[in-house]
Structure 1
Amino acid sequence: MILSIRKAAKVAIIAGTLLAVSCSKPSSDAPEPRQEFSIGWSIYAGWMPWPYAQQAGIVKKWADKYGIKINIVQVNDYVESVNQYTAGKLDGVTVANMDALTIPAAGGKDTSAIIVGDYSNGNDGVLLKGTNDLKAIKGKQVNLVELSVSHYLLARALNSVGMALTDVKTINTSDADIVGAFASPDVKAAVTWNPQLSSMKAQPGANLVFSSADIPGEILDLLVVDTDTLKANPKLGKALAGIWYETVALMQRQDTKGKEARAAMAKLAGADPAEFDGQLSTTHLYFDPNAAVAATSDPALITTMKRVRDFSYSKGLFGGARSADAVGMSFPGGKTLGDPQHVTLRFDESFMKLAADGKL
């Protein structure tokens, strides 16, 4: 089974500590041009193009073009991969938008999202037993991974029917335990992601009452890179964009080569091709760089990140910050959200645009 473990749980203390000790100013020792870089990844359907590209020689092809070496490094635990990036052990990492904000950015690490790869389009969902009416969730205990994208999804679901998180009681349940917990007659409501979501939907009486497909574009999966490293080494951004778009173009093909690529990705993820294709069906991949540039430049992204930011701040994921504005974000066109003097998360469409314009 594919393990989708995009969660921010258990990192609030780490982010808070980093925020407290960081004055969030650029380092006086600016990075110099380098020849070798490491990019971390963890298993998730939308991120499997990266290890496949390494296996298929696509990484080497683009790295050679720019005279550099790129190591695509698997980290078995998702949160650990983001922590390693935040600590400077990796130059870039695959990460969800909420976690990019609450871990490296909130910790003062200036981070650039250079590839908006996909959004969850049904991979995350709210389940109720015995009813298909979301409003019936009021007053219930809801099992989920607290402080994760599941918690955010629950907040958005409740908001859609005029309720708030105070109308339910959340029960922190790990992704490893949630399928078994939902099988208990005492558990009537849960929020989770695939592959657990698929298993739980199959349980008797289970109904999917809200999913990430109801909030398209809000749970984003990104490739982020250290901003100072990127400034000193723009060829890294160009190579990564080239790798990504060549690989996703291949995987969407319906011929033998495309099927072989998806089957290889499934194997790397520990799944069979049917399972992998099933998860891709609820993952909106941006195969076309023009679409990715448009999504990144759309004002709707600012609205999404404000929602994510406000939720994260309300749950203490900005450590000791005095307001949600403490962590600044920048977007295409010079637009900012939060403190413009403390921008640590940047949505940079420039490398995706080079791909769209055929200038890589």
Structure 2
Amino acid sequence: MKRSLAFFLPLLFYGCMDSPKDPIRIAMNPWPGYEFLYLAQEMNFFEEEGVQVKILEYSSLGDSRVAFERGQVDGMCCTLVELLVSKSRTNRDPRLVFVTDYSNGADMILGQHELTCMADLKGKRVAVEVGTLNMFLLARALSQAGLGLEDVEIHQFDQQGMETAFLNKEVDAVVTYPPVATTLLNQRGAKRLFTSRDTPGEVMDVICVNKQIIDTRFSDLTGMLRAWDRSLDYAEEHPEEASRIMARREGIQPIEFQSALTDIQVLSCAAQDFSSEGMGEIENVLESLIRILDETHQLTSPVSIGSIVDGSIVERMFAK
């Protein structure tokens, strides 16, 4: 009997101890504005903030979205399009909790050298990643040129695929962003026809997580965002080292990474705006996106934007 008690007592005490939490899993594809999460991981800022975060790397926004929809990750770095599409297609409940950046020229439409403006795309082949912000940017660009989506021939590719298609002249234009855009612009002939600088404030990148994670891991999400801010501070204090680390994951040179960041406004926690005015701006963009996604049949069910944004984590960080 004594032997039995001696065996079971350690198990009893072990069972009373807090079990370690699973890491918060965040899907991320290559995009300079997201890389500060990767920098936080590499610099051990997550651990120092007392939170376990696991970044799962995917090659495209579409792949990140699918991973989220399948429950393989708890959240994703994405655009508002992936947020809306996931909300429409699955029973998961994605919530925007943080705006990582605004694209002020980094998202772009590149054409072959003989094209000079968006109007030249009429009847031409355009490579897009369907189900992503690509379609929104293309629709906005065509609209400004007096054209519609029906005036171009849309070909579906992921980012790596469209790079090859463009270089092989299988398409006349691509809707892309760094690092693919950086590679194509370094190749002779690629020409900017339109960029997100032409639609200021409309192209934003975000971190969204399933609502269950907000309900059960609120303090951990707060720690994750504190680590984000520490990455921004580190990059400001050590720009060369930070660029080297982040460019390595993007597969480009540090100087190219720094150049890409000049077209991106990266936001800190203090720069988040979940006030009535800020929410109004986000909701206006969401409504515009929903119209275009409906027109292109990318939403399978209606989406209400009333509860899609949750600023409580950031607000709690700055509450007195």
TM-score, structure 1 length as denominator? 0.74
Count of residue pairs the alignment pairs up: 299
Q: Which runs of 5+ in 1 are unaligned?
A: 1-32, 64-68, 331-342
Question: Matches of 2:48 and 2:277 in 1, distance apart?
Answer: 27
Partner of 2:65: 82
Tell me the distance in 1 between the aligned counterparts of 2:71 and 2:167: 41
Assess if the C-alpha contact under 8 Å between 1:135 and 1:161 holds in 2.
Answer: yes
Instruction: Name the structure 2 match of 1:300.
Output: 281
Could you give the per-residue CA deviations for residues 165-218 of structure 1, whole angstroms, max 9, x where no partner exists? 112222234422323433456743332222222333345554312111111232
1:293-328: CA deviation from partner (whole Å, max 9, x where unpaired): 469824221111111112222222222x3xxxx211
Q: Does 1:73 align with 2:55?
A: yes
Amino acid corresponding to residue 85 of structure 1 in structure 2 = F
SS in 1 for 2:160: coil
Q: Deviations over 1:213-265 (max 9, x none)?
A: 111232322111211221233212321221112222322x1x4x343223222
Which aligned pairs between 1:255-266 and structure 2 lie closer than 5 A? 255=237, 257-266=238-247
Amino acid in structure 1 at the alignment position of 2:22:
E
- Counterpart in the other structure of 1:274: 255
> Which string of whole-angstrom CA distances, capped at 9 and with x for unpartnered residues, describes residues 70-102 of structure 1?
232323344343333333332222222111110
User: SS of the counterpart of 1:36?
Assistant: coil
Amino acid at match of 2:37: W
CA distance in 1, matches of 2:198, 2:43: 35
Please tell me the residue identity of whatever aligns with 1:95.
C
Classify the secondary structure of the residue corresponding to 2:96.
strand
Instruction: Name the CA shift for 1:161/1:270 in 2 (closer, same or farther; >3 Å).
Output: closer
Question: Is structure 2 residue 137 aligned with structure 1 residue 153?
Answer: yes
Deviation at 1:288, TM superposition (A): 5.5
* Aligned pairs (5 A) from 1:72-151: 72-78=54-60, 79-128=62-111, 129-151=113-135
The SS at the match of 1:244 is helix
Match of 2:201 in 1: 217
Match of 1:240 in 2: 224
1:37 aligns with 2:23: yes
- Of structures 1 and 2, the larger Rg is shown by 2
Which structure's residues are more often helix, by fraction? Answer: 2
TM-score (norm 2): 0.82
Report the Cα offset of residue 292 of structure 1.
4.5
**1:117–1:285 CA contact under 8 A, matched in 2:** yes
Identical pairs, percent:
21
Deviates more, 1:109-118 or 1:97-106: 97-106
**Is there any run of 5+ residues in structure 2 with no aligned partner, and where?**
1-18
What residue is the counterpart of 2:314 in the other structure?
Answer: 352
Distance 2:124 2:276 in 1: 36
Residues 133 and 209 of structure 1 are in contact (CA less than 8 Å); yes or no, is this contact kept in structure 2? yes
Q: 1:309 aligns with which of 290, 297, 300?
A: 290
Q: Secondary structure at the match of 2:241?
A: helix
CA distance in 1, matches of 2:153, 2:73: 38
Residues 85, 123 of structure 1: CA spacing in aligned structure 2 closer, same or farther, 3 A cutoff? same
Matched to 1:58, the amino acid is F
The CA deviation at 1:285 is 0.7
Q: Which amino acid aligns with 2:226?
A: G
Checking the alignment, whether the CA contact within 8 Å between 2:26 and 2:75 is kept in structure 1 is yes
Look up the equivalent residue of 1:327 and give its one-letter code. Answer: V
Contact 2:108 2:192 in 1 (8 A): yes
- C-alpha change, 1:138 and 1:261, in structure 2 (3 Å) is same
TM-superposition CA deviations, 1:97-138 (whole Å, max 9, x none): 111110245313112211110122222212333243322222
Contact kept? 1:130, 1:206, Cα under 8 Å: no
Which residue in the other structure is 2:154 paired with? 170
